[in-house]
Amino acid sequence: MLVGTGSEVWVCVDAAKRLAEDALTVRVVSMPCWEDFDDQDEAYQAEVLPGEVPTLAVEAGVSFGWDRWADDTVSIDRFGASAPGGTVLAELGISPENVVERAQALLDEVD
């Protein structure tokens, strides 16, 4: 499962398509607001993010807090990079290629 909050969702969708080429079924979840998701009942939360499914969050910010909802994150835990947005994101790993690599590594850990 791949989770994004906004601008990262397209990265998750693209990565999911690439993972599907390897016969993997991937759910993409858009979670724009942790607080709203947290307000939902536990049954709904478990339906959207089943605990037995490896979950990778993609966050164009810090990873802090994602451990509540995901097993691993692709995130940017530093600041100070300057360039056009797409260039910075790609250089810092917010790219479909990196998400595919990290998702496969997460699956390898689970297997």
The reported pLDDT for the residue numbered 88 is 78
Q: Any bridge partners for residue 75, and if so which? A: 59
Q: Tell me the pLDDT tens digit for each residue of 40-99.
A: 999 999 999 999 999 999 998 899 999 999 999 999 888 777 777 777 788 888 999 999
Residues 6+ apart with CB under 8 A from 92: 76, 78, 81
Q: Residues for the chain: how many in total?
A: 111
What's this model's pTM, rounded to 2 decimal places? 0.91
Residues 6+ apart with CB under 8 A from 9: 28, 30
